[in-house]
Structure 1
Amino acid sequence: MERRGLDRKQVLGLAALGAGAMVLGPGTGRAEADAGAAAPDAGETIDEGVTWRDVRQWGVEGKGWEDTALFYDRLPARAEASVRPVIWRLSRNSSGMQVRFRTDSAAVYARYVLTSPSLAMPHMPATGVSGLDLYAQDSRGRERWAGVARPTARAVEARLVSGVDPGMRRYTAYLPLYNGVESLEIGVEPGASFHPVAPRTRGTVLFYGSSIAQGACASRPGMAFPAILGRRFGRPTVNLGFSGNAFMEPEVADLLAELDPAVYVIDCLPNMGPELVAERGEPLIRRLRAARPHTPIVMAEDRTYSHAWLVGALRERHHGSRGAYREVYRNLRRSGVRGLSYLRGEDILGDDDEATTDGSHPSDLGMARYADAYAKVLRTVL
């Protein structure tokens, strides 16, 4: 049965039910905080001499469309009239967006305002829901973690890292996974050099999926599996994960078809039963293939619930939805559709049942395992 959106009680009960869905829109959620400037760390203050730069001056990476109602929205403004209201609300979360820049500053700061006072969830910390996550490029070209903002209010002012070794280096800051952003500035120390890095737009990996694709329950934005894969392959990503609402709808399919990525990744099974998969799976893939005849498409199954070994209804759910999706794949291949890859779900999270926060949503360990599983498929098509 199609799930048309979840209320607060349903969200809080997901860990027990293993429903694989999570919804957080502006003004909803459990944690509440008063608006106001948040201290960067206990006892610290931001120096008055910090030079601030508005990210809108050079842009964020990971936006599929430029004609958005708000700068950090994930869908174009016109989509509000065609998609379901819950998808529109979720599209205002900034998941998957990142900003890149170069500086020789000994410290890097961030100042941003969130759209919602709901900063965290019972099974996902504020650093993941609402934090800004900083990575720096090392001398070998690897992007490595450098610091994260720990929000305690809608208005955040944070020292992300300090005492940095001398030298110019490139940084990447990942935006919040389950909150929206009204404004964002990057700060550096007085006299430091600062060079914006333009967003990459070619070779994009596009993810369309559920709460897991959106980033639940990574502890930091950079630990969502699409972000991990973006770093691993050195490519931009567009995250169109819609928590609890990845139903392969025609309206969403039409929006996906507007974009021209290097590969489409379709990861909707955590939200879909076999009947809906059978009804919508083939039309979605055919719509994308008609619009982009040569773009690879990865069809991914859902991960296995950690307690499915114990709960027969969960095993039955996997059997039904995966069986329907595999039949869709076979039908497409038999009819001559090419450029399809298929990722089976049994082993995505490993076999030790230790990689989720609630039996459903991956922890950071689970996200790393997700990335490993996807990388095996993506290496063959990128």
Structure 2
Amino acid sequence: MDSTPRFLLLLTFLTLPLAAATAPKAPAPDISRLDPAMGVNKAAAANLTWHDVTTWGVEGREWGNEERLRWFDRFPAAAQKTVTPAVWSLSRDSSGMMVRFKTDATSIHVHYKLLKDRIGMPHMPATGVSGVDLYARDINGKWRWVQVTKPDKQEVRAEIIKDLAPGYREYAAYLPLYNGVESLEIGVPAGSKFEGLAPRAKPIVFYGTSITHGACASRPGMVHTAILGRRFDSPVVNLGFSGNGRMDTAVGDYLVKIDASIYVIDCLPNMQPAQVTERTVPLVKQLRAAKPNTPIVLVEDRRFTNDWITPAKAKFHTDNHAALKAAFETLQKEGVKNLYYVPGDALYGTDTEGATDASHASDLGFMRQADVMEPILRTALKR
């Protein structure tokens, strides 16, 4: 019997993997072509009137009369000499800043330049890191989400939304969380009514860590600080410094210069129990000496959402909580008034679903934090 066909069959079988390995790979599909909603925003239209937001101001930008290296820096230039280099660098992000305006435009556009070319992060999307997030008041005066930019480069000149319902209404645009802003303009069709709204007084002031800074919200309006700002209809100052919220006296020196409605101190995720013991009482006394009647809220560390299976991390949180509680009780015994406390165990919920990476909040975790903090802040603010 002729064995040639059998030999050829065997040879074909042996060469199949090699052929498959050397075959050119098909290019990855362009998802935005398959689903246009997954792409970047459309380019800004022609025939627009552009409004520079620096001409009327943004909320979340305090110490306005002090010189700044860049208009959208959170700290004035003098802070570079007193805060740590890490805090100074992080303060150049525009986290927490928000600009308000009124218009009857049926489309809204934005033109802004970013400080850094890192538009997104491995676990935080570009919409949160570098996006501009738009809200508007409905007919009942409630803030409701409209749309967010989806940036893919350092300079964005894009349509945020079009085909808006007719009406002259108030809008709020939240600036990027983990990027800085060099310039920002709002564009509306020529002939539209437009009014820039000046920043409101007596902000809620948050001092904290990467979570306060905004990690890892999908968009700037979803951080708990922004959520609470909308619920209280109040301006907010976000002094979250990723990895570097440590109750520093130098930061306290700037906190006391703000005419705050309330201070929320949420630094434990970046501190060890010994630091909590060492720094909590001095920071509260520093604030209270300058602001005798302003409410101060101390926030316990949130728990990692996987600390149920990581005993060392669970112990860290427990020890941190105990240190803050002891400091709070010491301050109460010393007669410090208008002092409030937020327990940390349920800040992300109790079902392990509130974080992106165990540590940093998802949008669900941010909403839950706002839910836990809101009643305590309402009591403190008497609202």
Smaller-chain TM-score bracket: 0.7 to 0.9
Max radius of gyration: which structure? 2
SS in 2 for 1:258: coil
2:275 paired with 1:276: yes
Q: CA RMSD in A?
A: 1.2
SS in 2 for 1:285: helix
The residue number in structure 2 matching 1:208 is 207
The residue number in structure 2 matching 1:54 is 52
Residue 43 of structure 1, CA deviation: 8.7
Q: Which has the higher contact order (CA 8 A, sep 6+)?
A: 1
The change in CA–CA distance for 1:149 and 1:330 in structure 2 (over 3 A counts) is same
The residue number in structure 2 matching 1:165 is 165
CA contact (8 A) 1:41 1:158 kept: no
2:296 paired with 1:291: no
The alignment-based identity, stated in percent, is 50
The change in CA–CA distance for 1:341 and 1:44 in structure 2 (over 3 A counts) is closer
The residue number in structure 2 matching 1:21 is none
- Listed as ranges, the matches of 1:169-180 within 5 Å are 169-180=169-180
AA partner of residue 79 (structure 1): A
CA contact (8 A) 2:42 2:158 kept: no
The residue number in structure 2 matching 1:234 is 233
Residue 256 of structure 1, CA deviation: 1.0
AA partner of residue 260 (structure 2): P
Aligned equivalents of 1:244 and 1:46: distance in 2? 36
The residue number in structure 2 matching 1:351 is 350
Aligned equivalents of 2:274 and 2:368: distance in 1? 29
AA partner of residue 282 (structure 2): P
Deviations 1:259-298 (A, max 9, x none): 1201000000010110111111110001000010100000
Identify the structure with the greater helix proportion.
2
- Listed as ranges, the matches of 1:25-64 within 5 Å are 44-64=42-62
CA contact (8 A) 2:92 2:180 kept: yes
TM-score, with structure 2 as normaliser = 0.88
Residue 350 of structure 1, CA deviation: 1.1
Deviations 1:207-230 (A, max 9, x none): 000000111110000001100000
AA partner of residue 232 (structure 1): R
The residue number in structure 1 matching 2:264 is 265
The residue number in structure 1 matching 2:150 is 150
Residue 158 of structure 1, CA deviation: 1.6
The residue number in structure 1 matching 2:23 is none
SS in 2 for 1:61: coil
AA partner of residue 122 (structure 1): P
Residue 46 of structure 1, CA deviation: 2.3
CA contact (8 A) 1:208 1:268 kept: yes
The residue number in structure 2 matching 1:8 is none
2:76 paired with 1:76: yes
CA contact (8 A) 2:99 2:173 kept: yes
Aligned equivalents of 1:206 and 1:307: distance in 2? 30
- Aligned residue-pair number: 342
CA contact (8 A) 1:93 1:181 kept: yes
AA partner of residue 187 (structure 1): G
Deviations 1:101-141 (A, max 9, x none): 01111100000000000111111000000000000110010
The residue number in structure 2 matching 1:105 is 105
The residue number in structure 1 matching 2:92 is 92
Aligned equivalents of 1:47 and 1:73: distance in 2? 29
List, as ranges, runs of 4+ consecutive aligned residues in structure 1 with deviation greater than 6 Å. none
Residue 250 of structure 1, CA deviation: 1.3
TM-score, with structure 1 as normaliser = 0.88
Aligned equivalents of 2:153 and 2:344: distance in 1? 38
Residue 69 of structure 1, CA deviation: 2.2
CA contact (8 A) 2:40 2:149 kept: no
AA partner of residue 304 (structure 1): R
Aligned equivalents of 2:318 and 2:157: distance in 1? 47
CA contact (8 A) 1:115 1:182 kept: yes
Where structure 2 has 5 or more consecutive residues not aligned to the other structure, the ranges are: 1-37
Residue 353 of structure 1, CA deviation: 0.4
Aligned equivalents of 1:84 and 1:320: distance in 2? 26
AA partner of residue 101 (structure 1): F
Aligned equivalents of 1:377 and 1:43: distance in 2? 39
Residue 45 of structure 1, CA deviation: 3.2
Aligned equivalents of 1:156 and 1:119: distance in 2? 11
CA contact (8 A) 2:40 2:150 kept: no
CA contact (8 A) 1:102 1:169 kept: yes
Residue 44 of structure 1, CA deviation: 3.6
Aligned equivalents of 1:56 and 1:249: distance in 2? 30
CA contact (8 A) 1:223 1:364 kept: yes
Aligned equivalents of 2:40 and 2:102: distance in 1? 28
CA contact (8 A) 1:257 1:291 kept: yes
CA contact (8 A) 2:56 2:196 kept: yes
Aligned equivalents of 2:289 and 2:42: distance in 1? 55
